[in-house]
Every structure is written in structure tokens, then in C-alpha cells.
Amino acid sequence: MAEVIEGRLHGGDPEPSEGTSAPSETLDQPLIELSGVEKSYRMGRVDYRALRGIDLQVAAGELVAVVGPSGSGKTTVLNVITGIDRPTGGTVTVDGRRIDAMTEEQLAVWRGAHVGVVYQFFQLLPTLTALENAALPLDFARRGSKGERVERARHNLDRVGLGDKVDHLPAELSGGEQQRVAIARALANDPKLIVGDEPTGNLDSVTAGDMFELFNQLNGEGKTVLYVTHDLGLARRAHRIISIRDGVVVPAIAVDT
């Protein structure tokens, strides 16, 4: 079995790896740590290497943008962090847990409780109201009584400014409002980590800016937020930009080229 993390990830390391603003003390173990992460897909006779050794760390409380050309591996990186996808090499540690070593069953439970994911196309269930969509993860986790779940979902819809539309179906809401419902759903189990895969990619620029403000607000309330965006303006408003190209992390300076 792989070593279990005891806050001594860098124990045998004689010199600190790179300077920058990375959390320096072992006490400040990063919330997310990817080390040498590989992801290969079998394509006929050859392996296609979508991720070729991703090393990255995100500290608790950071607001981080992930950028890179289409096909560079951004979604795959998010998916190995949320446990939707499994790496073919390397280690993924989130909040002290080795995600890559979990079984599917463990992952499903872990994901439901520890991470909220927001997608480009909202992915709401069309026959459920905003309130019912926002309560879904609570229903899956069987958290609290039905009444408590409804109260909690209502509170989260309030937080995203949709308190007056709880009974609307997704089709009765604008794109921006639908994405707010998706964010309320992501908040359901009060996860430390919110992950967005191009969450503003289907919104006009004003609505996208509002959505960013919401992420910013949640970050201010203590959530760690990681989002993929093609919008460099929105990327620059993060604390930090992680730039991915051809399945590796490259210096963020390359973003401007």
C-alpha cells in the first residue's frame, strides 16, 4: 500500500520545491495536491496521454483559475481532483485523502460530501424545481429529515440570490439563474471545495461576471474555488492562474501568448 499522509509529504526532501507563494510549512498541507498525475486513454493500439505528469498544489482558501487550449487536459485534471476520473499514474490527495486509492463506492460517498461541481451546461434535472434540484445531493446523502433538507436547499438558493424562484422549473429560468441553482446544488453538503468546469462558458459576459462574483463571495466565506475558464479577464481575477498545455502544467506567463 502507498504511504498514508501524515503531514510529512516533504519529509525526505532536502530543499523546498520552488519558491512562489506555495504553502511552505508541512503544517499547511495543501487542500489539493497532484503529484506526477498521468492519464492515458487506449486508442486502438496506442496509448493517448492526456495528462503527462501533472504536479500542482492548491492551498485551502485559494481562488484558482485553470486555463489552457481546448484539449489540453483541463477537464481531465478537474475530474481526477473530484474523483470522477481515475488517474493511470501518480497521486491525488484532497483534504488529506488519497482519492486515487479509493474504490468507486468510497469515491461516490466522498465526492457527495466533500466537493461541489458546477458544469458549463448546468446539468439540472428538467422535471424538478429549483428547490428540488438544489436538494438532490442532500437526498442522495440522506442527510437530515426531508424538512431539514428542504430548509437547507432553500437557504442555499437564498445565498445565490434565487430565494424568490425556488418553485421554478429550469426551463422557467434564465441561463444565469440556472447556473445559480447549480451552484446552490454544489453547496448542498457544505463542501470545502467548489470546482467549476467552464461554469461561465454558456453565459453572456455580464452574467459571467456576476457568476464570478458569486464564486468570489463563496471564496470569501472560506470555500476553496477552482474553475476552468477561457475568459482571460475572469482568469486574472483569481488569486492564481494554473496554465495547462499538452497535459502538463506550464508557467502561467504562457497564457498571454
Residues binding ligand ADP (CB under 6 A): 41, 48, 50, 68, 70-76
From residue 21, give the alpha-carbon distance in Å to each of 57, 134, 175, 218, 239: 11, 36, 36, 22, 11
Interatomic CA distance for residues 57 and 21, integer angstroms: 11
Q: Which of 72, 75, 82, 229 binds Mg ion (CB under 5 A)?
A: 75
Footprint on residues 165-184 left by Mg ion (CB under 5 A): none
Set of cell numbers at residue 166? 425556488
Footprint on residues 16-55 left by Mg ion (CB under 5 A): none
Element of type H or E holding 201: none
> Which residue lies nearer to Mg ion by CB, 57 or 75?
75
Strand 193-197, strand 224-228: pairing: parallel
Interatomic CA distance for residues 133 and 154, integer angstroms: 11
Q: What number of chain residues touch Mg ion (CB under 5 A)? A: 2
Using a 10 angstrom Cβ sphere, with 0-12 exposed, 13-18 middle and 19 or more buried, the burial of residue 8 is exposed
Q: Grid cell 481562488 — which residue?
A: 63
Chosen from ligand ADP, Mg ion, none, partner binding at 50 (C-beta under 5 to 8 Å by type): ligand ADP
Cβ 88 to ligand ADP, closest distance in Å? 12
Helix (H, G, I), strand (E, B) or coil at 159: helix
Cβ 39 to Mg ion, closest distance in Å? 13
Residue 72 in the binding site for Mg ion (CB under 5 A): no
Cβ 23 to ligand ADP, closest distance in Å? 26
Cβ 78 to Mg ion, closest distance in Å? 8
Do residues 77 and 197 make contact, with C-beta atoms less than 8 angstroms apart? no
Chosen from ligand ADP, Mg ion, none, partner binding at 257 (C-beta under 5 to 8 Å by type): none
Residue nearest to Mg ion (CB): 75
Residues that bind Mg ion (CB under 5 A): 74-75
